[in-house]
Amino acid sequence: MSEPLHPAVEGWLRQSREPLNAAFEAARARWPALSGPAALDWLRLDVADAVAAVAARDPVAAPRVGQTLYALGLNLLGQQLIGPEGRSPGIPEALRLLVRHAPGLLAAAPARLAGAYGNAAHHLSQHRGARLGDWQTRLGRALPLCTEVDTALDVGLVAAWLSGLPQYRESALARAARLSTGLLAALLDTAPGPDLLGQLAADPWFQPGPPPLPLAAVRARVGDFRGLGGEFLQPPVVVGDGQTVHAVSPGWVGQLAADAWGAQLIAVLPTTLPAPAHAVPPGYRLTPAALHTPDGSRLELGRFGPVTGIAWTAQLLALSFRDSHRVRVLARRRDA
Amino acid sequence: MLGKLFQKVSQSPTHPRPTPAPRRFDVAELYEGPASLAEAPDPRALPLDEKLRRAYFWIVNSAILSPHYDIEFHDGPAPEFLLGDRKARLVLPSDQSYSSYVLLPLLTFATQRKCLFIGGPGRGKTASAILMGVLAGYPVREVRRGMQRGHPQLTVADLVGSPLPKDLIGADQVDQVRIAWRQWLSMRVKIVDEYNRIPTRTQSALLTLMGDNYVELYDQVYECPPAAWYLTANDDAGGGTYQVIEALRDRIDVIVQALPFNPRYLSELLTRIEENARPEEFVPPEILFTAAEIERMGAEIRRLPVPRPVLRRLEHFASQFEFSDVAGEQFEYKAKDTARLAGTDWAQLSAQDDGRDRLKDLGCQTVNGLSVRNLLTLLSYAKAMAWFRGAPEVTLADVTQVLPFVLCDKLKPDLDAPYFAAAERFALKSDRIGWLRQLFTASCQEYDRLGLDREDPVAVLLEQIRPGLEGVAEAEVRKRLAQIERTIGELGRGGKLYGTLHDDLMVLKSLHQRYRNYLSWLLSRPA
């Protein structure tokens, strides 16, 4: 036997029966495969929870939240992003985070917040190496501290960067600068420090808590064989011009982004790239057996065949190997 | 609810272009995507070419079920299949390609020109024309009311208006007679259905209207706004009630044929019956164009450059057809038009023309040449095609694709020419579009064979004179005159006269004249 409906939900459903049915008919005309039972489940579970949670704080706003989330759900079900066969199951959980931790904000801007968080969850699930669960955890800590919709939106983006999307580092830092120290600390799961933001901005490899790693430590391995869900048919070769690093393999070129919070290869259009090189930055020394770094640590080589390319920027150094589809990423200190 | 069937317009770019590396990353892009409930972007903010492409895709996806992608573009190798006993070639284009039946009317809409729909009854010619009217922002009912239906009793008054009876009785002067002009004259999209059923006298009034954009009655003149014209005919080969006057036919810029309906799309028709819905009644507002937007589209299209190498190939193509060695004695009159004006029998004329390789000479495939109007129209549509594709300039592919539709009623084939006698070319006798494609391709191949991009002495001489003659010294003029005479001698060395050579020689003669006159002037000046 199903649970009795919350009175606010019951009232809303009674009043909105016709518009809800009309919205379903319109959605089905657009997406003929839209499942009625799946839409009903969405309405009965997620939308009803949201209406009940919002009604407890703002009864007037509850119907609007219900209508918005229902329309959004039909949209996502129609695109087969959520539901039993959904390709982006992180989206409902993102909306539940809002319902659990920020119902007041959801009441104020349901379409804006739910759409933004749903999209962010979708993107995180599409990026190899991004950690959707990590994003949800960070938001679970930070969202209850948000008092403004714009703050909640900034928090979601900074959390996304910290969950394995380093390509967004610069613009996320600009968003982080708008957050309070307490919110930033909650996102980083650390105690509020005097200059947390300054440290994050100054060193891409800074993480509060753990001691610094040696320069020879492999911080990330990016890319993989296409047969295993990766990007490359053949082992890639890294190339660089001191500003950017690209991994190149027949039919695929990716730009490397990496910091303490993650590493990504982002597909870019093939363009004129520098030739592969084996030169190392000042202070480094490369031998067939190892890469010696300025801090005296060494990375043992040879396990994956000869090095096919070395490329670096001021922040990172990348190596590719003849027998590996994965690019190794090392940190470079600014004073290296 | 019904409108939802037809209301979906592409929200993503319809012809995305590669973005240059390196990419910039903004974390805010994470909040964009499939979960958005935000309103669709303001269509007024869209570039007009993108808006027109969206209109195109809405029409092909929702309105006109036209799966004939006969305007093909390629950006790399395209898979090809040879099918059937006659080895019919099916090509799968490697770049975004289009259906002429939808695209050409849209380009006509954008350039405010004139398009004729041809095809058997019930193939959607009138419905397509009505859609164009709706795109211009007119309600369906107004478009239907404004449409002129050709019939044998259609008078000039029916077409343009009639004098007020009171003024006819009371006026002392003709110019005091006021005219009740027909409403459709003021529309930016004008539709004439079954124009080949209009009596000849009324066709003449229509000709003034189409050609000069005004109409005159009782000394009163009505100036019409610029408009796109759509005419329909079941048969373009003289099968209407009245023969269409030649001048009127010549005013038509492009002809598109309604290709047969593909029964695989029958279920779509069934839905329309069941829903009692017509697509023209549900055109999404975001693809409607205001008068200002139509004007801006035209200006953007006109601004698009035609690179010199593309123009040169078009010149080479156009040069091949007018020349007829036996039509005139004087060099300047060696033109098919000379024979036509004199009423010379074509069969007799072509039988005399035996000096050239009649299979190789493209000029032998036609009974006429191209007019200035034809070339202006071709350039306009080539620009429109390139603009529609979002290209920064006109490419050879744009010209190749629009040329057959512009010239299919203008460049008339000589079906008795040896070229058409071969069994494998039998289909080209009825397929004008296919024939014109082959004709242009052959002309470009010949252009390449002659290496005219690398070596074109006439172009060099034309470039020399382009800055003008002011300040050019006598010695230089004499040098150029000698150069012209030498070039004529070299060009004539082949022995045979072809259209392109004839045109080049005419150019050289005119250059020679200019230099000669300038030299006379130089010499006549006091020292």
Q: Looking at chain B, which residue has its C-alpha nearest residue A82? A: B35
B100-301 fold? Rossmann fold (3.40.50)
Nearest Cα neighbor of B186 from B142, B227, B230, B132 is B227
Helix (H, G, I), strand (E, B) or coil at A81: coil
Long-range contacts of B139-142 (CB under 8 A, 24+ apart): B140/B280, B140/B281, B142/B187
| Residue type at position B264 | R
Contact A111 B4 (CB under 8 A): no
Angle ∠(A17,A20,A22) on CA atoms, nearest 5: 105
Interface touch B37/A111, C-beta < 8 Å = yes
Amino acid letter, residue B331? F
Residue B272 class from Cβ within 10 Å (0-12 exposed, 13-18 middle, 19+ buried)?
middle
* Structure confidence at residue B294 (pLDDT): 92
Minimum CA–CA partner of A241 in chain B: B22
Residues of B in contact with A88 (CB under 8 A): 34
The residue in chain B having the minimum alpha-carbon distance to the alpha carbon of residue A71 is: B37
What's the number of CA atoms in the CB half-sphere (13 Å) around residue B165?
0
Compare CB distances from B26 to A81, A121, A171 and report the shortest one's residue.
Answer: A171
| Cβ distance of A156 and B31 shorter than 8 Å | yes
Q: How far is B20 from chain A (nearest CA, A)?
A: 7
The DSSP-derived string for B360-414 is T-GGGGBSS---HHHHHHHHHHHHHHHHHTT-SS--HHHHHHHHHHHHTTTS-B-
The pLDDT of residue B3:
47
Q: Is B153 on the interface with A (CB under 8 A)?
A: no
Q: Where in chain B is the domain with CATH 3.40.50.300?
A: 100-301
Q: What are the pLDDT digits (tens) for B27-39?
A: 888 998 888 765 4
DSSP A128-190: TT--HHHHHHHHHHHGGG--SHHHHHHHHHHHHHHTT-GGGHHHHHHHHTTS-HHHHHHHHTS
Residues of each domain in chain B carrying CATH 1.10.8: 304-450
B77 cis-preceded (ω within 30 degrees of 0): no
Interface of A with B in 254-283 (CB under 8 A): 255, 257, 266, 268-269, 271
A80 — contact with chain B (CB < 8 Å)?
no
> Residues of B87-122 as b/e, b for ≥16 C-beta within 10 angstroms?
eeeeeeeeebbbbbbbbbbbbbbbbbbbbbbbbeee
Strands of A298-300's sheet in order across: A285-286, A290-292, A298-300
Q: Measure the CA dihedral B353/B359/B362/B365, to 10°.
A: 70
Distance (Å, whole) CA A325 – CA B135: 53
Identify all chain B residues contacting A75, using CB atoms and an 8 Å cutoff: 34-35, 37
d(CA A49, CA A100): 9
Q: How many CB atoms lie within 10 A of CB B423?
A: 7
CA-wise closest residue to B314 among B306, B322, B305? B306
In this predicted structure, what is the pLDDT of residue A279?
87
Instruction: Report yes or no on whether pTM surpasses 0.90.
Output: no
What local confidence, expressed as pLDDT, does residue B525 receive? Answer: 80
Beta-carbon contacts of residue B434 (< 8 Å; ≥ 6 apart): B404, B427, B428
Output the tens digit of pLDDT for each of chain A's 336 residues. 567 788 889 999 988 888 898 889 888 877 777 889 999 999 988 999 999 999 998 888 899 999 999 999 999 998 889 998 888 989 999 999 999 999 999 999 999 999 999 999 999 998 989 999 999 999 999 999 999 999 999 999 999 999 999 999 999 999 999 999 999 999 999 988 888 999 999 999 999 888 888 999 999 999 999 888 888 989 999 999 888 999 999 878 899 999 999 999 998 876 778 888 888 999 999 998 999 999 999 999 988 899 999 999 999 999 999 999 999 999 997 443
ipTM entry: 0.90
Half-sphere exposure of B182 (CA within 13 A, CB side): 22
Cα–Cα distance between A84 and A77 in angstroms, integer? 9
Q: Which helix (H) or strand (E) holds B80?
A: strand B80-83
- How many of the other CB atoms lie within 10 Å of CB of B426? 12
Does residue A241 sit at the B interface (CB-CB below 8 Å)?
no
Residue of B nearest to A157 (CA): B27
Q: What is the CATH number of domain B304-450?
A: 1.10.8
Q: Which of A26, A114, A171 sits opposite B25 (nearest CB)?
A: A171
Q: Which of B18, B20, B35 sits opposite A115 (nearest CB)?
A: B35
Q: Residues B215, B222: contact at Cβ < 8 Å?
A: yes
Please name the residues between 31 and 60 in chain B that touch chain A, using a CB distance below 8 Å. 31-38
| CA–CA gap between residue B209 and residue B160 (Å, rounded) | 9
Residues contacting A307, CB < 8 A, separation 6+: A278, A286, A301, A319, A320, A321, A322
CB atoms under 10 Å from CB of B231, counted, come to 29
User: What does the pLDDT look like over B350-377, one tens digit per residue?
Assistant: 888 766 778 888 999 999 999 999 999 9
Contact B27 A257 (CB under 8 A): no
Give residue B20's pLDDT: 42
Q: Which residues of B touch A76 (CB under 8 A)?
A: 34-35
Q: Which residues, other chains included, contact B309 with Cβ-Cβ below 8 Å and sequence gap of 6+?
A: B396, B453
3-state helix, strand, coil in chain A (%, to 5): 45, 15, 35
Is A223 within 8 Å of A327 (Cβ atoms)? yes
What's the confidence (pLDDT) of residue B8?
Answer: 63
Does A157 contact B27 at a Cβ distance shorter than 8 Å? yes
The amino acid sitting at B421 is A
Whole-number Å distance between alpha carbons of B491 and B520: 27
Q: How far is A115 from chain B (nearest CA, A)?
A: 5
For B495-520, letters b (16+ CB in 10 Å) and e give: eebbbbbbbbbebbeebbeebeebbe
Nearest to B8 among A30, A68, A156 (CB): A30
Q: pLDDT value at position A25?
A: 85
Per-residue tens of pLDDT for chain B, all 527 residues: 444 555 566 666 666 554 444 567 888 889 988 887 654 444 446 789 999 999 999 898 888 877 789 999 988 788 888 888 888 889 898 888 999 999 999 999 999 999 999 988 888 899 899 999 999 989 999 999 999 999 999 999 999 999 998 888 888 888 888 899 999 999 999 999 999 899 988 999 899 899 888 988 888 888 999 999 999 998 755 556 778 888 888 999 999 988 888 888 888 888 788 877 788 888 888 889 988 899 999 999 999 999 999 999 999 999 999 999 888 999 999 999 999 999 988 888 888 876 677 888 899 999 999 999 999 999 999 999 999 999 999 999 999 999 999 999 899 999 998 899 888 888 899 899 999 999 999 999 999 998 998 889 999 999 999 888 888 999 999 999 999 999 999 998 877 888 999 999 999 999 999 999 999 998 888 76
Which among B18, B31, B38 has CB closest to A120? B31
Buried-state track B446-462, b at ≥16 Cβ within 10 A, e below 16: bbeeeebeeebbbbebe
Name the 3-class secondary structure at B293: helix
Ramachandran region of residue A80, left (φ > 0), alpha (ψ -120 to 50) or beta?
Answer: left
Tell me the nearest-neighbour CA distance from A172 into chain B, angstroms.
Answer: 6
